[in-house]
Structure 1
Amino acid sequence: MSALSALSSEAVLDEFRAAGALLEGHFILSSGLRSSVYLQCARVMMDPARGARLCGALAEKIRASGIGPVDLCVSPAMGGVVVGYELARQLGVPSIFAERVEGRFQFRRGFSIPEGARILMVEDVVTTGLSSRECLDAIRAAGGNPVGGACLVNRSGGAADIGVPLVALTGIAAPAYAPDALPPELAAIPAMKPGSRGLV
């Protein structure tokens, strides 16, 4: 086992803490759910050395997972783009991304998927799995064969089902709540919406 693949879950979270990317408070997730924990992967990936360490460890887990070789990494924009690029570099394959156009993922910028290509869908964080499933649908519609998914953090506690095997570098069980079902301690804190579709 290499040093990269030996990264413990706590070591991964330490990388997030060191990057100021493991936030606590009251956050509105991209799914619309609320949580006391937010993982800002863009801050983790802004350090190329840290991104290479984390994606190198994730690549080791993918190679050991039984998913098999892949031809292409595909990420949903925006959160998965940098993670997908670095993971593709570690795996030695190209990387492209899908963008939302009128609410649906599409391939633009001249991106296309060869018919039947074995695709690894790459996210930064998986919470409900909804954006992953939507990206996988776009991959299939474009002629690709999605054989698995990958993410830095699965924050669903293993509950998210994206329809293909999902390899996560680490997982956390961070509860997420509907806006009308907040625990009192969370309701007492003003909500923030970080991330690419948020306020900060």
Structure 2
Amino acid sequence: MKIKNSEFITSAVRREQYPTDERIEVAFVGRSNVGKSSIINSITNRRGLAKVSQTPGKTRLINFFLINNDFYLVDLPGYGYAKVSKTEKASWGKIIETYLSSRLQLKRVVLLVDCRHKPTEDDIMMHEWIKHYGYDVLVIATKSDKLSKNELRKSEKVIRDTLKLAQEDKLYYFSSLNKIGRDELVDSIFDDIILKEDNEQSKES
């Protein structure tokens, strides 16, 4: 799939602030320092589409980006940043859970983890949340340029074991710096759900 255009539409905290046009959605979620904004900018080929904050944990909103005037890429708040209060952490968790528990348009959640580290308790909980609500989940290990091929193999085993991924569960590696495999990753994230949605619309009409 070619991403020809992408634009920021709105930010939201509450359910009534979400877009109401019924387009399907693919959400991205991960720890606050995992490189979520960078990967969104990489796959859309728009350097400043998602704002890259110099302060981890700063994004407190759900951001909706319209892709190809066809579907939404949804940027969920980063979680797990240590230097915020428990109250703030709880509030971000509530924002994410409200979205996951009520969004019929949501067709897939992309969970980002840092390939250099074992997934954290927050990552495990987020993966379990996504599965609990019945969404298709795709895991991307970011910052893959930082590891050697041997280290990447070890990383894959650690991530799969920690998140209890089955062999058929999708796990991809990506670096926002070298962007190797970008087009294939875009296809893996979006192609099948867009095609499925188009087929369902064709049946209805």
- Bin for the TM-score computed over the shorter chain: 0.3 to 0.5
TM-score, normalised on structure 1? 0.37
Indicate the structure with greater helix content: 2
